[in-house]
Structure 1
Amino acid sequence: MSADILIEPLTPGAFAPFGEVLEAAGAPDRLINQGLCGRWHDLARLDIADGRPGLSLFRSETRTLPLKLGMVERHPLGSQAFIPMSFDPFLVIVAPDDGGVPGRPRAFRTAPGQGINIARNAWHGVLTPLHAPGLFAVIDRIGAGANLEEHWFPDAYTVRDA
């Protein structure tokens, strides 16, 4: 049975069960570079098991709404941080764990300038830019071993604007 998922704004509180919101909000933690640069310090828990953190660039095709959501995935060996390389919002889909399978998904739209760090082993949708160029810096685990688990829903969800 297909169901609708309404898109919510991405806030640190709403996203907390799944990871961290990365944004330069409020006053910086400290000023560096002779006071010319604000630093928002240590915003994400990079959680890497049996490997090392790596920085990659991803370019993903853009998506349109409404969006059919048939699959989510998780990475048991490492968190993933997604930092857009443009000031365009993107869609973030996550789901709570329900006894080893994903529960009902939630969808968030980022504000311009927001990125995310998805916690290790958190169910999430694939990278979903809503605007070109769909270019992201991604910090995640590099190493051997099975670090991808996919779950296909019996019936796809439809993700749409509220």
Structure 2
Amino acid sequence: MSGDIFIQPLTAEAFAPFGDVLDVTGTPDKFINQGMCARHHDRARVDFADGRAGISLFDAVPRSLPYLLEMVERHPEGSQAFLPMTQHPFLVIVAPDEGGQPGRPLAFLTAPGQGINFHRGTWHGVLTPLNDPGLFAVVDRIGEGTNLQEHWFDAPYNVLDA
């Protein structure tokens, strides 16, 4: 076992090196739809080397804690946003890049209503809902070529609730 990773709350500041937190905190940029809808404008940087943005729906099987982290992946050709279609929190695991390999992972727990956008090339764990249904809208790159790199750890990490 590589060691334990303790889950921390997801904040924009802590997650900034890896991506964007998608939520409705702060003052809206403006109100639209006859004043009945607060617009929180341009909350994430969608970034693709080529191709186009696509919206897919993922229906993931919930995981439980402690969670055994054996592998992380990254997408060198595009960012990837996960928008939960429920109010359940989910687990987000990221790792800094250290010379083309993932460093020691970090684990975050979203608040209800938060989504995330991984920056292009960010090492991250697989989609990890903790409740059923694990339904997400995903915005990512659609295009030719390989956009997935996986890294399997020599020894897994044990992800624990704080």
TM-score category of the 2 structures, normalised to the smaller one: over 0.9
Amino acid at match of 2:8: E
Q: d(CA) in 2 for partners of 1:113 and 1:154?
A: 35
1:41-68 CA-partner distances (Å, limit 9, x unpaired) = 0000000111000000000000000000
Aligned residue runs from structure 1 range 24-103, under 5 A = 24-103=24-103
Q: d(CA) in 2 for partners of 1:113 and 1:50?
A: 30
Q: d(CA) in 2 for partners of 1:50 and 1:2?
A: 36
Paired residue total: 162
1:109-146 CA-partner distances (Å, limit 9, x unpaired) = 00000000000000000000000100000000000101
Amino acid at match of 2:96: P
Other-structure match for 1:161: 161
Other-structure match for 1:115: 115
Structure 1 residue 2: Cα displacement:
2.3
Q: d(CA) in 1 for partners of 2:142 and 2:161?
A: 35
Structure 1 residue 26: Cα displacement:
2.3
Q: d(CA) in 1 for partners of 2:26 and 2:154?
A: 43
Q: d(CA) in 1 for partners of 2:85 and 2:59?
A: 10
Q: d(CA) in 2 for partners of 1:14 and 1:84?
A: 20
Amino acid at match of 2:118: I
Q: d(CA) in 1 for partners of 2:12 and 2:116?
A: 10
- In structure 2, list runs of 5 or more residues that go unmatched: none
Q: d(CA) in 2 for partners of 1:30 and 1:94?
A: 32
Q: d(CA) in 2 for partners of 1:50 and 1:145?
A: 10
Q: d(CA) in 2 for partners of 1:124 and 1:88?
A: 20
Other-structure match for 2:3: 3
Q: d(CA) in 1 for partners of 2:103 and 2:51?
A: 29
Q: Report percent identity of matched pairs.
A: 68
Give the match's secondary structure for 1:132.
coil
Alignment RMSD = 0.6
Q: d(CA) in 2 for partners of 1:76 and 1:21?
A: 20
- In structure 1, list runs of 5 or more residues that go unmatched: none
TM-score by length of 1: 0.99
1:53-107 CA-partner distances (Å, limit 9, x unpaired) = 0000000000000000000000000000000000000000000000000000000
Give the match's secondary structure for 1:145.
coil
Runs of at least 4 residues off by over 2 Å:
none
